[in-house]
């Protein structure tokens, strides 16, 4: 089942769960949805986040230092689902925490928590490893949508495999490398989305480096949604870090999200 975006472009907001606290992530997620986020990606903190840049790495380190676990993230997901049933909800993780948790148990608990989909950054869909195949089978069993990353360097056979196995949306990486803000989008993102559309009719969300209203407007010209991660996590990092309740960070994130679709509002931040 495709994850629906209510606006054009849709906004996918990434949060590292547990940074600065689980209570704060809950408050920030609700404010983000109320401010216009279509989908919340709840990032499971991981000790070796190879795909993430320094901003999200620091957030993961802080969340892990506070003892945040995958189980905690699933409890948080259920709380968000209960409070905002209309929003899309994706669990963003690496494979190792799922393997430790148990594939079948993870699928059951993520479904029970109300997640719509799961994005596992380090599985390669065209490589039929036991872990990948078993995870996809478990997600299919409980009707959870697998979401895959597609890079500008992905060959056509990989894009075809991603299209064949994806059910939520396809996450198009705007550039090669790790997550983090950038000054402008490259033509690689638009070309990649066009290539993906040859293989899939699913919504395509563009991420890695999207950080302002100009980027979001550019994405709207050729894709269905924009993913904002590092810019949000960095904003949380520098907004009243002593406030573990998350109220100050939630207010800052809400203003930022409103500014992504209303450039004039961004001037008041």
Which residues are identified as catalytic? Answer: 41, 52
Concatenated DSSP letters for 8-76?
A: SSEEEEEEETTSS-HHHHHHHHHHHHHHT-SEEEEEPP-S--TTS-HHHHHHHHHHHHTT--HHHHHHH
d(C-alpha 29, C-alpha 232), whole Å? 11
Burial bucket for residue 82 (CB in 10 Å: 0-12, 13-18, 19+) = exposed
Residues present in the chain in total = 269
Residues in a beta bridge with 118: 91, 146
Burial bucket for residue 85 (CB in 10 Å: 0-12, 13-18, 19+) = exposed
d(C-alpha 48, C-alpha 31), whole Å? 29
Check if the beta carbon of residue 170 is closer than 8 Å to that of residue 227.
no
d(C-alpha 253, C-alpha 256), whole Å? 5
- 244 three-class SS: coil
Nearest-10 crossing angle of helices 156-165, 187-197: 60
């Amino acid at each position: 089942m495709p994850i629906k975006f209510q606006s054009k472009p849709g906004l996918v907001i990434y949060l590292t769960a547990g940074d600065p606290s689980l209570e704060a992530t809950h408050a920030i997620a609700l404010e983000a949805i109320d401010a216009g986020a279509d989908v919340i990606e709840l990032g499971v903190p991981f000790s070796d986040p190879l795909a993430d840049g320094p901003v999200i790495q620091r957030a993961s380190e802080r969340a892990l230092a506070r003892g945040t676990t995958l189980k905690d993230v699933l409890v948080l997901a259920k709380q968000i689902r209960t409070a905002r049933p209309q929003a899309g909800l994706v669990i963003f993780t690496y494979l190792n925490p799922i393997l430790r948790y148990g594939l079948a148990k993870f699928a059951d608990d993520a479904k029970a928590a109300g997640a719509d989909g799961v994005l596992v950054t380090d599985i390669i869909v065209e490589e039929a490893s036991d872990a990948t195949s078993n995870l996809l089978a478990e997600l299919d069993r409980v009707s959870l949508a697998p979401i895959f990353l597609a890079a500008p360097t992905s060959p056509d056979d990989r894009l075809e495999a991603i299209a064949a196995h994806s059910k939520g949306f396809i996450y198009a990486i705007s550039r090669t490398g790790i997550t983090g803000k950038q000054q402008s989008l490259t033509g690689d993102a638009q070309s990649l989305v066009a290539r993906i559309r040859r293989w899939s009719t699913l919504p395509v969300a563009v991420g890695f480096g999207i950080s302002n209203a100009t980027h979001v407007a550019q994405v709207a010209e050729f894709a269905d949604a924009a993913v904002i991660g590092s810019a949000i996590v960095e904003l949380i990092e520098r907004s009243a870090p002593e406030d573990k309740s998350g109220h100050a960070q939630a207010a800052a994130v809400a203003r930022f999200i409103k500014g992504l679709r209303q450039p004039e509002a961004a001037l008041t931040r």
